[in-house]
Amino acid sequence: MASAAMMPNIEYSLAERAVRSEGLLSASALPDVLARPSVIAATIEPVPPRLQKVTLRKRGSEIFVVVQASGQLPGPFLKSLETIAALLTLAPNWNSYSAKPIDPRNAVCAIRLVWDLLQPGIAPPLVVPRVRGGIQLEWHTENGDIEIYIDSPDQITFFAEHTESGESTEGPLAGHQEVLKAWVQRISGK
């Protein structure tokens, strides 16, 4: 089982964070909070969201994704985070054809990339496991398609195509992050 948790970057106990967050966490969310597959969003400062840290933790057979961020976390990001956390539970041979489990480093890269690409009004990407331990992020809209292939933290590539014009681009992400952001906005109609 995998869980995802968002916590502010303040060193308080979970109970103190709940009190300080002014009711964002209910009392029923406090017991055994990390043992359930859920996302906890506790924010204190009303500032633009900023991703501060992504950590993966393992307890027995359970894997937890802990994201520290400031500001209100967007719903599409939380949806993608839950899907990426779930992919970390895939066992070796998950497709019956010798597929590898998802490399945790690729999961962290995917989380950071989704955070960077999602803007208000943009739907979350589809999150798909790759057979060699990577993660694929996909957007398919009536305006076009984007696929991002995360095979390792150093090997991230993308393909983007606009439906109406037929224009397309592909290549490594390194050095082309702004190009990819523009494509995500373009096919999202933003």
Residues 163-175: pLDDT tens digits?
999 999 999 999 9
Give yes or no for residue 92 having a pLDDT over 80.
Answer: yes
Confidence (pTM): 0.74
pLDDT for res 56: 84
| Sheet strands (E) in 60-131 | 62-70, 126-129
Tokens of 51: 């991703």
Domain boundaries, the chain: 1-73, 90-190
Residue 5's pLDDT band (cuts 50, 70, 90): low
**Span 45-90, pLDDT tens digits:** 444 567 888 888 878 778 888 888 877 778 888 899 999 999 999 9
Q: Where do runs of H (alpha helix) occur along 44-103?
A: 75-87
Q: Which string of b and e fits 20-35 if b means at least 16 CB within 10 Å?
A: ebeeebeeeeeeeeee
Q: For residue 82, give every residue at least 6 positions away whose Cβ sits within 8 Å of its Cβ, in sequence order, or none.
A: 4, 37, 39
